[in-house]
Amino acid sequence: MSGRIYLNCKEMISEEFRNLTELGVGVQSSTMQDKDVRKNEDFKTKELIGNSFTILDTSDKEDMYKVMKEKYNIDIPIEWAKAEFIERITRKRLNPGTAWKIRESVWKEFLHNNKFSYTYNERISTHLNRVIRELWKNQNSRQAIVSIYNIEKDIKNMGGKKRIPCSMFYQFLIREINGVKKLNIIYVMRSSDLLTHFVNDVYLAMRMQEFVAEKIDIPPGSFTMFISSFHAYYKDLKRYNIF
Pairing of strands 220-233, 44-55: antiparallel
- Mean confidence (pLDDT) of the chain: 96
6 vs 23, 153, 181, CA distance in Å? 19, 36, 20
Confidence (pTM) = 0.96
Q: How many CB atoms lie within 10 A of CB 90?
A: 13
Contacts of 168 (CB under 8 A, 6+ apart): 147, 148, 149, 188, 189, 190
What is the rounded CA–CA span in Å between residue 104 and residue 48? 28
What is the rounded CA–CA span in Å between residue 203 and residue 98? 19
What is the rounded CA–CA span in Å between residue 118 and residue 242? 32
For 160-198, how does the pLDDT look when each residue is reduced to its tens digit (9 = 90+)? Answer: 899 999 999 999 999 998 899 999 999 999 999 999 999
For the chain, domains (ranges, CATH) are 4-239 (3.30.572.10)
β-pair partners for 32: 35
The pLDDT > 90 percentage for the chain reads: 95
193 vs 16, 88, 114, CA distance in Å? 12, 20, 25
pLDDT at residue 1 above 60? no
For 49-81, how does the pLDDT look when each residue is reduced to its tens digit (9 = 90+)? Answer: 999 999 999 999 999 999 999 999 999 999 999
